[in-house]
Amino acid sequence: MLLKAGNETADKAIIEICMPGGKVINYDIPLIKISDYTIEEIFREKMFMLIPFYIFNYESRLEDINNSEEQLNQLLDDYEELFTRLEKEQDSGNLSAVSYDAIIRLTYSVAYKLTMKQDNVQRKVGDVMGGKVLDLPCFKAYDQGLEQGLEQGREQGIEQGIEAFIEDKIEDGISVDVIKSKLCKRFVISEEKSDEYIAKYINQ
């Protein structure tokens, strides 16, 4: 696959295989040029592997795009279309979550490196693609896990506080009824929940 191709770039390459006895066999190998494929063709042929390198089609025009708001917006629209259609392919089962993840990450990486000299393009495209990277399932799972972990930690902290509170009041000789009332007010819990904590920590 050729990421860069000019008007004089050949349509095929020749591979030479040296056989025993010195005989040479030539094979013509068709060259895939990313510039030959439109967004429509990429999705029709399900050549999703080309998506990360699609920005090479703009390489010769990046300087102009960098200085033109109109061209820059068109570039962003093209990528929004790519991502929207890619999401639909995943939703329909034509693309696995792992492949989707890899394509988004690689697209972001390639675009970032290719546009390093074009500040406006890199910033705008980075905003769009960076958001997609952060929205990947792996990052969502991390965020959800972190949120669940914080919630579990908060609940454990509250319960440890309740346990220490009950033990302290018992050592001070305060009656169970008073402890129950204070628990409800201090930790904003129901009487039923207060009874559960008292039964759990007074008789342990």
Q: What does the longest C-alpha to C-alpha distance in the chain come to?
A: 102
Quote the pLDDT of residue 2. Answer: 60
Ranges of the chain whose pLDDT falls below 50: 134, 139-143, 146
197 Cβ neighbours under 8 A, 6+ residues apart: 159, 162, 163, 166, 183, 189
Give residue 134's pLDDT.
44
Helix (H) or strand (E) holding 203: none
- In 3-state terms, the chain is what percent helix, strand and coil (to 5)? 70, 10, 20
Q: What pLDDT does residue 139 have?
A: 47
Query: What confidence score (pLDDT) does residue 12 get?
Result: 76
What local confidence, expressed as pLDDT, does residue 64 receive? 92
Q: Confirm whether pTM is higher than 0.75.
A: no
User: b/e map of 63-86 (b: 16 or more CB within 10 Å)?
Assistant: eebbeeeebbeebbeebeebbebb
- pLDDT of res. 141: 46
26 by DSSP, 3-state: which? strand
